[in-house]
Chain A
Amino acid sequence: MPAATNRRNIVGVNAETVTNVSSTDFPGHWPGEDHSWSVKHFRRTFKVKFYRNTPLLSQFDLIHTDAAIANTLRRIMIAEVPTLAIESVYVSNNTSIIQDEVLAHRLGLIPLRGDKDALKGLSWYLRGEDATPREPTDEDTIVLHLKKTCERNPDAKKTDTDPDKLYINHNVYASDMVFEPAGRQIKSFARDPVRAANPDVLIAKLRPGQEVDLTMHCVKGIGQDHAKFSPVATASYRLLPDIRIKKPIRGKAAERFAACFPKGVIAVREGRDGEKEAVVDNARNDTVSREVLRHDEFRGMVELGRVRDHFIFSVESTGQFDADEIFLSAVGTLKAKTINLKRDIYKMLQKQALDAKRAREAENPDVDEGDAMDTQ
């Protein structure tokens, strides 16, 4: 690629300003160049590069796509990929100092996990317009129980002051929630029952005589409705930083130059003449803090920027689904949206055509005159 075309993708970052911020790869912007959408071209240029792939954290690059697409996928991951969370809490007894509604809210935010296929197979529990809620079924609702009563420890010494030794069951943890499978769930969740993703989440503290006894209904929902349904702790992207050294930086200045960047970004190498020189080692690690632009000695020697079509994604799962699966669900959701919308446009056009036909028939009654005679 010629240098000029390459620089088009660089967003300039100056001390106080940014330059070249908008993408220009659409038809009609560059004379004689075709930037119209082409799947073939996209297939050739689009790249994904992985840097980390663990169940809870995925880091990967999407290269040669637009911010509109990257942002759409990020937004879908946060707000539209469905997960299971506690939705209703039925309190049989709560004598702890945490109020029912606060306790219910805390419970709702606890990330759950379980058999992934079975979770994906759950249907939506739709409350509908009716005042009386629909009866929950094994297809759409998971039931959890939580019962814990605090007692004095009879073996505690009189001199003990540590609550752990004085009391039994004085901490209520997320791991105390017990899954009660119903119907088909007995089989589908047999290998991997529904439980808290992080067993050590402290829900409440109790003292002797206090008790919590709750039944919880978990349903599938999306982050748009409530943050507890969001499958990601964070899903974010940043643009790949770009550092261009315009004039060689040698000697002691090279060390000072490297010190303006995070570790590993600038390497100081020894040239053939034995003199040290600063070179860009790994721009990916840069935070684009612009520290280097504050130093007069480097004025005009370096250009900072970001690559406009290189997105460094970081997806952190809450534990219900694997991070990479969440991204794939997001892409699937976007695809589903396009299919739905196409279907609805089709329906809309069908209705319009039908109404137009009726209107025309009403205008020219000759067509159905026979019918009109019959009714008379």
Chain B
Amino acid sequence: MTSKAEDILDGMEEDDDELTMPDEGLSDIRITTSFELQLPGEEEGSASFEIIGEDHTLGNALRYIIMKKWVRNFGFWVPDPEVEFCGYSIPHPSEDKMNIRIQIYPEYWEQTRPYDALMKGLDDLGDLCDHITHAFKEARDKFVELGDGSEQG
């Protein structure tokens, strides 16, 4: 399991520019490392993550986007999902924790690990945010230009 983490690190380039936060005060999200708390149920192709300081807000969006898991395009037309299961839970309302579980279909174990799926889900969610911001500003500016208050067709 630990060697897996090393593999991923090798394949990952640290992008410090991207990781600078606009608002440091919100950086309250922490993943417990396996050493602090080993979440049970980890095996090849499946894992659970405990995220501290998050709730349904991120949990459901992340679950949605990971369940919509991408397929690497090999030129075949028939799409085939890689993620077999992704779910989240709030184990107890008085604990500031959110658990997210990811399982990969066995066919994809070699190329995709739960970490990858989680990282990809976060990337996708970021892309989605960027486009929503863009589309929202565009629509608003167009609306303001056309004159306020009235309905627009």
Contact = CB atoms under 8 A, between A and B. Distances in A.
Interface of A: 25-28, 32-39, 42-43, 46-54, 60, 62, 65-66, 68-69, 71-73, 75-76, 79-80, 82, 123-124, 126, 220, 324, 327-328, 331-346, 348-353, 355-357, 359
A66 B2 contact: no
B39 interface: no
A72 B58 contact: yes
A293 B58 CA distance: 38
A137 to B, nearest CB: 15
A143 to B, nearest CB: 20
Contacts of A353: 2, 5-6, 9
Interface in B54-107: 54, 56-58, 60-61, 63-65, 67-71, 78-81
A231 to B, nearest CB: 14
A6 B45 CA distance: 36
Interface of B: 2-3, 5-6, 8-9, 12, 14, 18-19, 21-27, 29-31, 33-35, 51, 54, 56-58, 60-61, 63-65, 67-71, 78-81, 115, 118-119, 122-133, 135-140, 142-144, 148-149, 151-152
Contact of B64 (A39, A66, A220, A335): A66
B71 A36 contact: yes
The 8 closest A-B CB pairs, nearest first, are A356-B2, A68-B64, A27-B81, A50-B143, A48-B139, A335-B129, A352-B5, A124-B25
A36 B73 CA distance: 11
A334 B64 contact: no
Nearest to A54: B148
Contacts of A39: 124, 127-128, 131
Contact of B81 (A36, A62, A345): A36
A75 B56 contact: yes
B139 A60 contact: yes
Given A36-B79, A51-B151, A336 B23 contact: yes
Contact of A79 (B14, B24, B57): B57
A355 B36 CA distance: 12
A28 B81 contact: yes
Contacts of B2: 352-353, 355-356, 359
Contact of B71 (A27, A328, A348): A27
B129 A348 contact: no
18 contacts: A27-B68, A34-B79, A46-B132, A48-B132, A51-B151, A53-B143, A69-B64, A72-B58, A324-B136, A328-B137, A332-B22, A334-B129, A337-B26, A338-B122, A345-B119, A348-B34, A349-B115, A356-B2
Given A48-B136, A52-B149, 16 more contacts: A27-B71, A43-B131, A48-B132, A49-B139, A50-B143, A53-B140, A71-B60, A124-B25, A331-B133, A332-B133, A336-B21, A337-B26, A338-B129, A339-B19, A352-B33, A359-B2
Nearest to B132: A331
A37 B69 contact: yes
A126 B119 CA distance: 30
B8 to A, nearest CB: 6
Given A51-B152, A328-B136, A340-B21, A351 B131 contact: no
B118 A345 contact: yes
Contacts of A334: 58, 61, 125, 129
Nearest to B61: A72
B35 A355 contact: yes
Contacts of B130: 335
A37 B65 contact: yes
Contacts of A25: 68
A341 B122 contact: yes
Contact of A338 (B33, B125, B133, B138): B125
